Amino acid sequence: MPRDGKTLDIQKQVSDLVAQRGYQEGWTIEQFMARQVAKAAEELGEIALLITMPEQLQAMIAATGRIAGVQFDRTEAWLRDVRCDAPDRLAVEMADLQVVLLCMTEAFRRRYDEGFDVLQAALQKAARDVARGVRQ
């Protein structure tokens, strides 16, 4: 499948900005990726609180997000051997997650903000956050 240079450029720019913020310092690639799983869970928990859904599901996702956020910040929790045993499968699952986010984003764009571009919004947020550094 051909790669979109613009999309890859935004992907790299966002990653570089996160690195400038200090979130990749001192971590192996695998540790960084594992921490990003926790960060994704934290963000999903925050999203769950913004959309009406079955209460039990909403509470579970929100609680998981809070736990993931605490774990993300616990440096000692990540100071062990972390590896990726199935990189090909990981690539598939990351694509699956991106499909969900892009579909949700397009639905949001159609209903609330026709001009919303999630990739540009991510780039702008990452750029704004550089000055904040690592969350303490």
Each residue of 15-61: pLDDT tens digit? Answer: 999 999 999 999 999 999 999 999 999 999 999 999 999 999 999 99
Each residue of 61-80: pLDDT tens digit? Answer: 999 999 999 999 998 888 88
* Domain chopping of the chain, boundaries: 21-83, 85-130
Report DSSP letters for 76-124, one per residue: GGG-S----S-HHHHHHHHHHHHHHHHHHHHHHHHHT-TT--HHHHHHH
| Cα distance between the two ends of the chain | 41
User: Furthest-apart CA pair in the chain: how many Å?
Assistant: 45
